[in-house]
């Protein structure tokens, strides 16, 4: 590892930043508590420096000793436009990276990966989310925008199963973010590009490997969604992520991928296998010093399943609103709790809300 790359990674640890962005003629920018800030102690990076960093990072994606490694990386970047990978710094910190082309220039985005697992309580997430780990089959979805902590939540749930259940867990990720060591469970972690061609291929292969629990980093296309639903339907517990703003949006995101003539059947299948959805957001306090999670939780009760199967997704919000006995809560309920406890301001809560009028009602009650 070169001195420059080592310095950038060490600086990320020092600043407790979640992400680093590198580009020509710009200072390194670090995301600290959600804010992207230039490093005042660093000089702007020259073109050659960024190009060298891009090639160095790309080499982490190739087998050790690969001949013509740099030329191979240049070819892949020219053909594909981007490369994903993971590296470990000298101090043991792990980083996910993406090297990409932008206007015929190279640029780099790195994300610092937490070194250990935290409990739901330490993450300030509701305990009800942990109940999904007790399911023996079905589909559990964690959704939210980029950087909302989806991977961290899933890692916590997988770690809980690993420590408490004698199961075979297979994770399928791009790339592997959290490293799980087999405990009571047997854990196998497969990385797209390194161990399998695609999420769907890895899912199909996993079905032949006697799994009890499957973690799929993201179901991105129709084939992967179909296979994930089939896995959940045939006795496996499947955890996955989606990019959607709320629980109802996650349902519609899945259904919309299917051709129109298959959507009715997909709704019935999803209604049968879904166990729950967690839609989470990370919100900064007024001083920008800390971020706090807000989580909407949907539990697939008989009433919810009926709404999914019959296409009445718009009515699911009211089921969540009245479903406290099942551990459900809306995003607005979560936001109101954060405001009342003083962890975030009202303006932040309203900016994140999907139903500002309901949030206003909640805050008035409190």
pLDDT digits (tens, 9 = 90+) for 185-238: 999 999 988 899 889 999 999 999 999 999 998 888 999 999 999 999 999 999
Within 8 A by CB and 6+ apart from 262, the residues are none
C-beta of residue 291 within 8 angstroms of C-beta of residue 282: yes
CATH 3.30.450.90 corresponds to the domain 3-113: yes
- The stretch 259-282 carries a mean pLDDT of 97
Helix axes 247-257, 222-233, angle to 10 degrees: 110
Instruction: pLDDT band for 355, please (50, 70, 90 cuts).
Output: very high
How far, in Å, CA of 59 to CA of 69, rounded? 6
Residue 108 in 3-state DSSP? strand
DSSP class of 221: S
Confidence (pLDDT) at 218: 83
pLDDT at 1 over 90: no
For residue range 160-173, list pLDDT tens digits in order.
Answer: 999 999 999 999 99
**What is the CATH architecture assignment of 127-329?**
3-Layer(aba) Sandwich (3.40)
Confidence (pLDDT) at 64: 67
pLDDT at 289 over 80: no
Give the domain ranges of the chain: 3-113, 127-329
How far, in Å, CA of 83 to CA of 66, rounded? 16
Confidence (pLDDT) at 366: 62
Predicted TM-score (pTM) of the model is 0.87
Confidence (pLDDT) at 65: 64
- The stretch 260-264 carries a mean pLDDT of 97
- The stretch 126-142 carries a mean pLDDT of 97
Instruction: pLDDT band for 114, please (50, 70, 90 cuts).
Output: confident
């Amino acid at each position: 590892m070169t001195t420059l790359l080592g310095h950038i990674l060490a600086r990320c640890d020092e600043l407790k930043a979640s992400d680093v962005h590198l580009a020509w003629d710009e200072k390194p920018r670090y995301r600290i508590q959600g804010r992207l800030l230039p490093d005042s102690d660093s000089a702007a990076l020259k073109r050659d420096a960024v190009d060298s960093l891009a090639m160095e990072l790309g080499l982490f994606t190739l087998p050790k000793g690969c001949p013509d490694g740099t030329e191979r990386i240049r070819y892949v970047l020219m053909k594909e436009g981007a490369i994903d990978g993971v590296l470990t710094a000298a101090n043991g910190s792990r980083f996910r990276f993406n090297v990409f082309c932008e206007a015929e220039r190279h640029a780099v985005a790195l994300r610092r990966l937490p070194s250990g697992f935290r409990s739901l309580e330490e993450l300030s997430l509701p305990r009800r989310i942990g109940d999904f780990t007790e399911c023996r089959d079905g589909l559990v979805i964690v959704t939210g925008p980029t950087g909302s902590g989806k991977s961290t939540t899933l890692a916590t749930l997988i770690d809980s199963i690993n420590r408490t259940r004698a199961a075979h867990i297979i994770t399928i990720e791009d790339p592997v973010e959290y490293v799980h060591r087999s405990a009571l469970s047997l854990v196998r972690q497969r990385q797209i590009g390194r161990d399998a061609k695609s999420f769907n291929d890895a899912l199909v292969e996993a079905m032949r490997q006697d799994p009890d629990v499957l973690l799929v980093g993201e179901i991105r296309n129709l084939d992967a969604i179909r296979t994930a639903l089939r896995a959940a339907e045939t006795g496996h517990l499947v955890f996955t992520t989606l990019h959607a703003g709320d629980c109802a949006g996650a349902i519609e995101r899945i259904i919309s991928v299917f051709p129109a003539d298959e959507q009715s059947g997909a709704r019935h299948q999803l209604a049968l296998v879904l166990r729950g959805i967690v839609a989470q957001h990370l919100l900064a306090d007024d001083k920008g010093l800390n971020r706090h999670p807000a989580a909407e939780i949907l539990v697939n009760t008989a009433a919810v399943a009926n709404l999914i199967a019959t296409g009445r997704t718009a009515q699911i919000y009211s089921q969540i609103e009245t479903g406290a006995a099942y551990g459900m809560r809306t995003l607005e309920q979560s936001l109101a709790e954060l405001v009342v406890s003083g962890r975030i301001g009202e303006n932040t809560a309203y900016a994140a809300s999907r139903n500002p009028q309901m949030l206003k009602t909640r805050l008035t009650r409190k």
